[in-house]
A and B are shown apart, each in its own frame.
Chain A
Amino acid sequence: MLAEATHALPYPVLTLLVLMPLVGSVLTLMSSSRRPEYTKLIALVTSVFTGAIGLWVLASFETGEEGFQFVSKHEWITSWGIGWHLGVDGISLFLVVLTGILFPLVIVGCDPHHDEKRYLAWLLLLEAGVMGSFLSLDLFLFFLFFEIVLVPMYFLIGGWGYDQRIYAATKFFLYTMVGSAFMLVGIVTTALLAKNDIGRMTFDLVEIAEGANFAASTGRWLFFAFAIAFAVKVPLFPLHTWLPDAHTQAPTAGSVILAGVLLKLGTYGLLRFGVYLFPEAALWSREIFLTLAVIGIIWGAIAATMQKDLKRLVAYSSVAHLGFIVLGTFAFTSEAISGGVMQMINHGVSTGALFLLVGMIYERRHTRQIAELKGLQKVAPIFAAAFMVVMLSSIGVPGLNGFVGEFLVLIGGFETARWWVVIGATGVILAALYLLWAYQRVFHGEPDEANSSFRELRLREGLVLLPFIGLIVFCGVYPKPMLDRIEPSVKALMDRVEVVTGYVAPEPVIHEQDDTEQDDTEQSVTDHGDTNHGDTNHGDTGHSENEGGEG
């Protein structure tokens, strides 16, 4: 179904997207230690350039196309059928763009305080890994990038983190590695089994998806091998406990990137390699994932409420938010999955911004303890206003981005996963509770002595936050451009699920309206006294409903 769009390009943009930060990383390392300003400039230029390419891809992306675009495909290890196969579709597009935007902002906005050269080199290597993961259409290549990501993140947390950084970094690395081990077995087995159907060894995602025909039980085993790796990455309850530690101990840039894009490797992977490769298994196991997602929403929110460390609170809120994305993925309707994809971006933007803000608080006060902060709104009203907008987005107030994604997940899942949605939606109440309570303790009240000298938002900080706030408002008010690009690919994915499994996503009943409105009002005037009569009248025009609500 996901036929590759014939979108040939004279030069391989996507390859450039991966190589650019890699080159930047090497150049940064090679630059002279005596001129740190050049080091930073190199890092900044390469990351800005990468971001610009990302935006260019966004601008020239063919809206309404469902397949992969800007495809670049080269043979690499021929005997094993491993290829350099990159491509972007509606599902990965905005993740790539977000990655491109986040890195330069983080490089400008966060200060590592020591060893800037190595710090920037790791950061750029991380960007290359993330880009590669989102763009790879080859299982082996994906695995390579997916694992590369761990290394710079490990060193960033361990090298530039806070007091418990070694514990957190090790936990992050080992936990994710255990998951990845399952995936590696899964990938190799998938390729070996697919060989029987396809006739040759290949790791190509699209070829395997279209050519291979796994038995149901085999598919389920393979699916779980992938799903465990992604569930750890998301993280899905109860595999989430590495996250609060990693987030809290990571330097601000690490937290922003971790929340902004790294976690999305998990949710993206579930869609791209879970649902796409093994639709039958994904559908078969949906109740497990829905349940864990909903538990995560509630559990994460409750745990967030009781945190004493502001950064840890935001980390737990991520567990809750990511639960919504998984809920959308396994609700199996176009609306819910599109909402989930959109929520990946929304969460990246708002939680990324929250981590930046918490980082700024730490820079000023050298504490993240909620109890030690008080009354900041009085001394820094602009800072407080920025925090407020980001917080409202995270709470999911309509008009801001967070709402649209959550709403689509919930309304899309209501027919297919009703009770999970009913319970999951209470997470919206809890989100208001933990964030507003934290806001009250940190920003409201009369500032005490330690907080009364809290510095107002500086220009540079404001400029870094501005794109975040702009995206928060724009995507909330006018999500259409985004949804228009996401939806065709999601629709194609859903079509594939339906074709392979025979599952049919419920379509809500559409009543005739608008054009026939005038007639209808008149008609209802005449026959509303006898509703049964009205029913038969309308039944003739050819739509059968009443089941819509209960089905």
Chain B
Amino acid sequence: MLDLIWLIPALPLLGFFINVVFGRLLGEPKSGALAALMVAGSFVVTVGAFFDLISMPTEERHHVVTAFSWVPVGSLHVDLAFLADPLSITMALFVTGIGTLIHLYAIGYMHGDPKFSKFFIYLNLFVFSMLMLVMGENLLVTFLGWEGVGTCSYFLISFWHTRESAATAGKKAFVTNRVGDWGVMMGMFLAFGATGTLSYAGINHAAESGALSAVTATAIGLMLFIGACGKSAQLPLYIWLPDAMEGPTPVSALIHAATMVTAGVFLMTRVNPVLSISYDWAPTLIAIVGVATALFAATIAVAQTDIKKVLAYSTVSQLGFMFLAVGSGAYVAAIFHMVTHAFFKALLFLGSGSVIHGMHHEQDMRRMGALRKLMPVTAFTFIIGWLAIAGVPPFAGFWSKDEILLFAFAKSPILYVVGLITALLTAYYMTRQVIMVFFGEARWNDHSEEHGAHGDFKPHESPKIMLLPLVVLAGLSVVGGAMQLPFTKDLHFLEKWLEPVVEFGEADIHHSWAYENKYILLGIAIVVAVAGILLSAAVYAKKKIAAVEPALLADGWKYDKAITSFMGGPGRRAFDGVAWADRTIVDGAVNGVGRLVQGAGGFLRKGQTGAVRNYAAAVGLGVVALLVWFFLRGVVL
């Protein structure tokens, strides 16, 4: 099976090609079914590869399949090659698994859209790119996927491109990501210059053997981190992700929650030996950026009224947690949280999509409420997702978040405290969302009155094809934590599985105070989660405390606005200045020279009068001048 891992990305690519050619012919359910089938096929191959790998001895779990030599020039030899190791297979498992579920969901969600088959073209292309990203044997193949997912994200955000806001959001996502991609390129160049290869094995080996200097390793790590900040929506490059919610909701679930946005965390984990030999301040910086983003985004989520915007900021915040883990050397925890987050956040997004679908494209939570009874399955699964993200045991999110906080404490108690505050806010704003959408009084009646056209407006439960993925993801959100339980070493399944990949970079905290008192931390985490939920319930359900939702937070601390107005103001004027200078100065000089020549010609032409007397006079003057010159020369010399 391991030699067939090229099939994992190849199948969605095949689906892409079939749908490009026959998509319109296949029509509504079939083109979607084909796309889903292809991703499911990849999932089956991945499962096979997983069992192959796990049956091998730990240190041999590293299998490379080379398709062909991609870019061979001089000392640069890059193969289009795939790598199957615990990390890539873990990623591929949840990408294809959740991808299949979301494809199924999308068949229901995109029902009736005139561009139905086109949607699945993009979706399959995205899954292909994402799989190239995670299965790449070297940085360049990963970069191919990296830019590919960015491009597909652009296509899908602006899928409803006649809407100006969707078109702008797509462009913003692409350009912002490109800023990060610049960092990835610099990281690649540095790595190639220092190690002569772009393959992960070569780079990591150079780091592990000490052949890579700390200076270069730091530079490589930070440059790749710039890329990660772009792709994984961290400060200061997160601005594109909230806007990306303009895309259809399955896209938000698949790309902007479960898979693509975790690519940065994946890349950091992939090169963990490089990070671990860099100067200490580099991982610390990553941890600080991560925890700052987590807190920053959580405060914004508290005041959002759009059902998807809450989830978008929550995603930014949770990704911040993953970078906190990376910076704390907790790579297993980062991947653990990435996987559980993929379960519950995909669930929450799909649930919100189901709500939007049932509410006839209403996204404002102030016009929802009491949907629990009308949409029982959606409500039930959403509540499970909520408990998972809020950090309530025994749901999946609790375990992974706790593990991150444990490592953060070992790194620095300050990081831990900020993480804890974020966890409190997370429980708070998610509870707020659940109450506003599913509990309380029904506020959507107002809506039907406002818009007389929707006379018999009544929210309805979504079709089965959309509910099935919700149920499966809810199940995973319940049991997902079991892959890495903190109690005894024997229950660290994920850690053992990932060990060959992360053992060099993984921080050893076994002798820290935090580890020895991990049950106290566990207790604190539970108290914090419950406190957040109760506080929120007191505010939004019982109305005992007035809600605090300042406009500054609703505006996202005005960060995005500041950037937009800078770009539209001074930035644009500077660009205009260059265009002006090109026209008037650079080209003006050229035309000036042209006019000068023309003018000089015109002036000289005046001498060519054709009158013999003038010429005779000139000859005479010349003779006199020559005589004077000869005379003077004779005297002087």
Identify the A interface with B (CB < 8 A): 171, 174-175, 237-238, 240-242, 299, 302-303, 305-307, 333-335, 338-339, 375, 377-378, 381, 392, 397-399, 403-404, 407-408, 410-412, 414-415, 421-422, 425-426, 428-429, 432-433, 436-437, 440, 443-446, 478-480, 483-484, 487, 491, 507-511, 513-514, 517, 520-525, 528, 531-535, 537-538, 545-546, 548-550
Min CB gap B148→A, angstroms: 6
B193→A508 contact, CB < 8 A:
yes
Query: Which of B184-192, B316-324, B342-350, B386-394 forms part of the interface with chain A?
Result: B184-192
B residues contacting the other copy or chain, number (CB 8 A): 71
Contact with B76, one of A302, A303, A408, A517 (Cβ below 8 angstroms)? A408
Q: A411-B192, A520-B209 are in contact. Are A175 and B202 (CB under 8 A)?
A: no
**Residue on B nearest A543 in the bound complex, by CB:** B211
With a CB–CB cut-off of 8 A, which chain A residues contact B75?
A: 334-335, 507-508, 510
A545→B211 contact, CB < 8 A:
yes
B72→A484 contact, CB < 8 A:
yes
Min CB gap B216→A, angstroms: 4
Q: Taking the complex as formed, is B195 at the interface, i.e. its CB lies under 8 A from any CB of chain A?
A: yes
**Residue on B nearest A523 in the bound complex, by CB:** B209
With a CB–CB cut-off of 8 A, which chain B residues contact A422?
A: 186
A397→B594 contact, CB < 8 A:
no
Q: Taking the complex as formed, is B206 at the interface, i.e. its CB lies under 8 A from any CB of chain A?
A: yes
B209→A440 contact, CB < 8 A:
no
Q: A375-B162, A425-B182 are in contact. Are A410 and B199 (CB under 8 A)?
A: no
With a CB–CB cut-off of 8 A, which chain B residues contact A522?
A: 59
Q: Taking the complex as formed, is B328 at the interface, i.e. its CB lies under 8 A from any CB of chain A?
A: no
How many angstroms between the C-alpha atoms of A430 and B582 in the bound complex? 17
A433→B582 contact, CB < 8 A:
no
Min CB gap B157→A, angstroms: 11
Q: A303-B582, A334-B74, A398-B144 are in contact. Are A511 and B182 (CB under 8 A)?
A: no
Known: A407-B140, A480-B70. 5 other contacts (CB 8 A): A408-B71, A509-B211, A545-B194, A549-B213, A549-B216
A428→B182 contact, CB < 8 A:
yes
**Residue on A nearest B202 in the bound complex, by CB:** A513
Min CB gap A384→B, angstroms: 9
How many angstroms between the C-alpha atoms of A377 and B170 in the bound complex? 15
Identify the B interface with A (CB < 8 A): 59, 62, 68-76, 118, 140, 143-144, 147-148, 151, 154, 158, 161-162, 164, 167-168, 170-171, 174-175, 178-179, 181-182, 185-186, 188-190, 192-197, 199, 201-202, 205-206, 208-213, 215-216, 219, 277, 503-504, 575-576, 578-579, 582, 586-587, 589-590, 594
B178→A378 contact, CB < 8 A:
no
B579→A303 contact, CB < 8 A:
yes
Which 10 A-B residue pairs are closest in the complex by CB-CB distance? Answer: A549-B216, A444-B167, A535-B210, A334-B74, A549-B194, A241-B587, A508-B196, A414-B189, A306-B579, A531-B210
With a CB–CB cut-off of 8 A, which chain A residues contact B202?
A: 511, 513
B185→A425 contact, CB < 8 A:
yes
A511→B147 contact, CB < 8 A:
no
A432→B167 contact, CB < 8 A:
no
How many angstroms between the C-alpha atoms of A153 and B195 in the bound complex? 48
With a CB–CB cut-off of 8 A, which chain A residues contact B143?
A: 398
**Residue on A nearest B185 in the bound complex, by CB:** A425
How many angstroms between the C-alpha atoms of A489 and B504 in the bound complex? 43
With a CB–CB cut-off of 8 A, which chain B residues contact A517?
A: 201
Q: A335-B75, A528-B504 are in contact. Are A444 and B162 (CB under 8 A)?
A: yes
A531→B197 contact, CB < 8 A:
no
**Residue on B nearest A411 in the bound complex, by CB:** B189
How many angstroms between the C-alpha atoms of A408 and B193 in the bound complex? 13
B175→A407 contact, CB < 8 A:
no
Contact with A513, one of B70, B194, B199, B219 (Cβ below 8 angstroms)? B199
Contact with B196, one of A333, A444, A511 (Cβ below 8 angstroms)? A511
Min CB gap B601→A, angstroms: 13
How many angstroms between the C-alpha atoms of A535 and B205 in the bound complex? 11
With a CB–CB cut-off of 8 A, which chain B residues contact A238?
A: 586, 589
A392→B151 contact, CB < 8 A:
yes
Min CB gap A17→B, angstroms: 27
**Residue on A nearest B60 in the bound complex, by CB:** A518
Min CB gap B244→A, angstroms: 15
How many angstroms between the C-alpha atoms of A30 and B578 in the bound complex? 49
B182→A429 contact, CB < 8 A:
yes
Min CB gap A390→B, angstroms: 14
**Residue on A nearest B276 in the bound complex, by CB:** A528
B148→A399 contact, CB < 8 A:
yes
With a CB–CB cut-off of 8 A, which chain B residues contact A548?
A: 193-196, 216
Min CB gap B581→A, angstroms: 9
A425→B579 contact, CB < 8 A:
no
Contact with B208, one of A335, A426, A509, A534 (Cβ below 8 angstroms)? A534
Min CB gap B402→A, angstroms: 28
Contact with A534, one of B68, B185, B199, B210 (Cβ below 8 angstroms)? B210
B590→A242 contact, CB < 8 A:
yes
B590→A508 contact, CB < 8 A:
no
**Residue on A nearest B198 in the bound complex, by CB:** A411
A480→B210 contact, CB < 8 A:
no
A480→B72 contact, CB < 8 A:
yes
Contact with A306, one of B59, B161, B578 (Cβ below 8 angstroms)? B578
**Residue on B nearest A245 in the bound complex, by CB:** B587
With a CB–CB cut-off of 8 A, which chain B residues contact A335?
A: 73-76
**Residue on B nearest A334 in the bound complex, by CB:** B74
Contact with B211, one of A480, A523, A546 (Cβ below 8 angstroms)? A546
**Residue on B nearest A421 in the bound complex, by CB:** B189
Min CB gap A271→B, angstroms: 16
**Residue on A nearest B77 in the bound complex, by CB:** A510
A524→B209 contact, CB < 8 A:
yes
Min CB gap A275→B, angstroms: 16
A-B contact pairs, 13 of them (CB 8 A): A238-B589, A303-B579, A404-B71, A408-B76, A410-B189, A445-B167, A479-B71, A513-B205, A524-B205, A524-B208, A525-B503, A531-B209, A549-B194
B192→A414 contact, CB < 8 A:
yes
With a CB–CB cut-off of 8 A, which chain B residues contact A242?
A: 590
**Residue on B nearest A446 in the bound complex, by CB:** B162
Min CB gap B64→A, angstroms: 9
B205→A511 contact, CB < 8 A:
yes
